[in-house]
Amino acid sequence: MTVTLLGSASLLDRQSGRRGDAAYLCALAADPAARFLIMAGHTPLIAADPSGLWFSAAAIQRAAIGDAEPLFLGILPSSQAGYFALSACEASAAKLASHTDLHAPTDIRTIASSGSLPAGDVALAGLARSLFAWHESARHCGWCGAKTAMTDGGWKRRCEPCGKDTFPRLDPVVIMLVTDGESCILAHEPRYKPGMFSCPAGYIEPGEDIAHAVRREIHEELGLTVTDVAITSSQPWPFPHSLMIGCTAICLPGPLNIDPAEIVEARWFTRGEATQLVAGTHPDGVWIPGPQAIAHHLIRAFAEPA
Amino acid sequence: MTVTLLGSASLLDRQSGRRGDAAYLCALAADPAARFLIMAGHTPLIAADPSGLWFSAAAIQRAAIGDAEPLFLGILPSSQAGYFALSACEASAAKLASHTDLHAPTDIRTIASSGSLPAGDVALAGLARSLFAWHESARHCGWCGAKTAMTDGGWKRRCEPCGKDTFPRLDPVVIMLVTDGESCILAHEPRYKPGMFSCPAGYIEPGEDIAHAVRREIHEELGLTVTDVAITSSQPWPFPHSLMIGCTAICLPGPLNIDPAEIVEARWFTRGEATQLVAGTHPDGVWIPGPQAIAHHLIRAFAEPA
């Protein structure tokens, strides 16, 4: 079984400078080489044959999915073929299933952790999920309330009455491995499955930098003071449209003071225990997210320093 | 003259867990120790006396500014006094000016580069600017178009008809010092003042991590391929609500291919020239942003490696 960090959609050249060129996008979509990913709600449809996520224009026309303007994901550099995303209603998804053998609908987290699709495809399904979620949230203009229209291959929405443009939203989040040098602190949040512990995390707010957000979140959630914040890594996280920014920080001595609204339990794990968590062999049965999540890599880097 | 990185609003404890407690916020705002920052459009009002940005409840009542619910910025840890931000119409600003000696309105960039206010105060003005800009853009619900109402001290807007909450928007941006080891590449964008060069930058998109955004932006804007992306620093940038993420990257050999829509001129500067740029003494008269901007610090770190 291969598993993958839910990573960057780097398979495609996004051609961001040509998103405003409607004729170019039309020609790409009309080319028989074009391929379409289909989201039914939050879940991509997956063909049982090796084509996986990617449907031809013929297939989507048979399912009557292709009426809406597709989101432009980019072109495949090797073939210059256009890759797009469409959203299917239940009826269209059923129609597609009637003439194509589909896998059972599976959410993106499960697809990522199962390794059933190539990493680059999972990332593109995540990109499509983030864009569609943003479109849902931006159907009306925040300034004036009028209906907005999708443009630029789905990378912009325009309000004709007031002339405002809005762009895809991306929420930066800090997620941090806090250590006292010997142990790291992990938390169990109310929404987690039983036994799961992970790195504390929280949205970055206006008026703060990344280090400030790390210090604030750790102080609010755990009552601890941290220093020496370092930014180590990042990951797009399409639930619905976050950018996870992985950090490390050093904890100063002091008592734990948990915010019960955010954290059920926080626990220090030694480096040896962290190694067990990464291997899935902790004797208490506690466990951490899999390698599709940046938390796994932060904990692994602590367990196995370079 | 002191200048300051336009930094984190770290003067105050944001008390984010108590933003939903309306009675607490009301009591804080009614206390005579409470202080209010007043934005007239994008510009903070500044008293000529040492109180600077901060007005008392009595002053804002005399100016009839205090009718709207204020944004809650946080409490001063030493005194527990509440700090708030209000938006003033032109008439109210004039009324305030009639009984308080005010400095001429000055935009936040200029305030930051002049050093006329303490760094912590400039950061709080930036936070207020970002929050007010977000409120402007979220007066209607993006899902249904109904009017939304501010709640949680200005950190949330709620749509009663459809029940959706929206939170302050923060747009992550990569800004990068790209070097071939000997020189760094800086760009002059169409919107820059004559002679100014700075680090290339661009919005991070859904479905990519920070390193991917750096590689994509440099490829799109300059036609160059970069590797070894490292994240070094960050800065809130309240124009209107960005998070600048400072990176370094190494450029592989290859021809420059500029996107004329984004870049007027790109130029390699040796380490010695970078030192001149930081000092403001480059013989060609070209110059870089001041120390209020993260670009200055990225270029300085290249000019003067640790």
Chain A residues within an 8 Å CB radius of B170: 171-172, 203-206
Q: Most A CBs within 10 Å: which of B134, B205, B231, as the mutation test of the A interface?
A: B205
pLDDT (tens digit, 9 = 90+) per residue, B46-94? 999 888 999 999 888 888 776 778 999 999 999 999 999 999 988 888 8
Place of tokens 């899935």: A280
- Report which secondary-structure segment, H or E, holds B272: helix B271-279
What pLDDT is stored for residue B277 in this prediction? 98
Whether the pLDDT of residue B5 is over 70: the answer is no
Tokens of A266: 């926080």
For residue B93, the tally of other CB atoms under 10 A from its CB is 21
What pLDDT is stored for residue B3 in this prediction? 45
Cis check: omega of the bond before A255, within 30 degrees of 0: no
Query: Would you place residue B105 in the very low, low, confident or very high pLDDT band (cuts 50, 70, 90)?
Result: confident
Chain B residues within an 8 Å CB radius of A235: 209
pLDDT (tens digit, 9 = 90+) per residue, A275-291? 999 999 999 999 999 99
| Partner residue facing A172 (CB), from B9, B126, B170 | B170
Distances (CA, A) of A110 to A4, A43, A97, A125, A199: 11, 10, 21, 12, 20
For residue B42, the tally of other CB atoms under 10 A from its CB is 15
pLDDT (tens digit, 9 = 90+) per residue, B167-177? 999 999 999 99
Phi, psi of B300 (to 5 degrees): -65, -40
User: Distance between CA atoms of B152 and B156, rounded to whole angstroms?
Assistant: 6
Lowest mean pLDDT among A3-17, A208-222, B25-39, B245-259: A3-17
What pLDDT is stored for residue A61 in this prediction? 85
For range B286-299, the mean pLDDT: 96
Whether the pLDDT of residue B128 is over 90: the answer is yes
ipTM over 0.90: yes
Residue B9 near residue B55 (C-beta atoms within 8 A)? no
What pLDDT is stored for residue A2 in this prediction? 40
Distance in Å, alpha carbon of B124 to nearest chain A alpha carbon = 7
Show contacts of A251-257: CB within 8 Å, 24+ apart.
A251/A178, A251/A179, A251/A180, A251/A185, A251/A218, A251/A224, A251/A225, A251/A226, A252/A224, A252/A225, A252/A226, A252/A227, A253/A180, A254/A223, A254/A224, A254/A225, A255/A223, A256/A222, A256/A223, A256/A224, A257/A222, A257/A223, A257/A224
For residue A237, the tally of other CB atoms under 10 A from its CB is 24
Question: What is the amino acid identity at position B190?
Answer: P
Mean pLDDT, chain A, whole residue set: 93
For range A116-129, the mean pLDDT: 93
Which has the higher per-residue pLDDT, B109 or A202?
A202
Percent of chain A past pLDDT 70, that is, above it, reads 98
Determine the length of chain B: 306
For range A141-146, the mean pLDDT: 98
Whether the pLDDT of residue B4 is over 60: the answer is no
Lowest mean pLDDT among A99-108, A255-264, B136-145, B262-271: A99-108
- Report which secondary-structure segment, H or E, holds B299: helix B294-303
Tokens of B271: 């380490």
Question: Among A62, A118, A122, which Cα is nearest to A93's?
Answer: A62
Query: Would you place residue B305 in the very low, low, confident or very high pLDDT band (cuts 50, 70, 90)?
Result: confident
Whether the pLDDT of residue A5 is over 70: the answer is no
Q: How many CA atoms lie within 13 A of A289 on its CB side?
A: 24
Query: Would you place residue B37 in the very low, low, confident or very high pLDDT band (cuts 50, 70, 90)?
Result: very high
Tokens of A68: 């809406």
pTM: 0.96
Cα of A142 vs its chain's centroid, Å: 24
What pLDDT is stored for residue A199 in this prediction? 98
Question: Among B194, B211, B196, B189, which Cα is nearest to B258's?
Answer: B189
Determine the length of chain A: 306
Whether the pLDDT of residue B141 is over 80: the answer is yes
Distance in Å, alpha carbon of A168 to nearest chain B alpha carbon = 7
Helix (H/G/I), strand (E/B), else coil: A16: helix
pLDDT (tens digit, 9 = 90+) per residue, B188-213? 999 999 999 999 999 999 999 999 99
- Chain A contact for B144, CB < 8 A? yes
For range B10-20, the mean pLDDT: 93
pLDDT (tens digit, 9 = 90+) per residue, B219-263? 999 999 999 999 999 999 999 999 999 999 999 999 999 999 999
Residue A37 near residue A93 (C-beta atoms within 8 A)? no
What pLDDT is stored for residue A4 in this prediction? 53
Q: How many CA atoms lie within 13 A of B45 on its CB side?
A: 30
DSSP string computed for B97-163: HHHS-BPPP--HHHHHHHT-S-HHHHHHHHHHHHHHHHHHHTSB-TTT-PBPEEEGGGTEEE-TTT-
Interior angle at CA A111, CA A107 and CA A113, nearest 5: 120
Largest CA distance in chain B: 64
Chain A residues within an 8 Å CB radius of B8: 207-209, 211-212
User: Distance between CA atoms of B280 and B1, rounded to whole angstroms?
Assistant: 15
User: Distance between CA atoms of A276 and A269, rounded to whole angstroms?
Assistant: 10
Inspect the interface and report whether the beta carbons of B137 and A143 lie closer than 8 Å: yes
Inspect the interface and report whether the beta carbons of B138 and A142 lie closer than 8 Å: yes
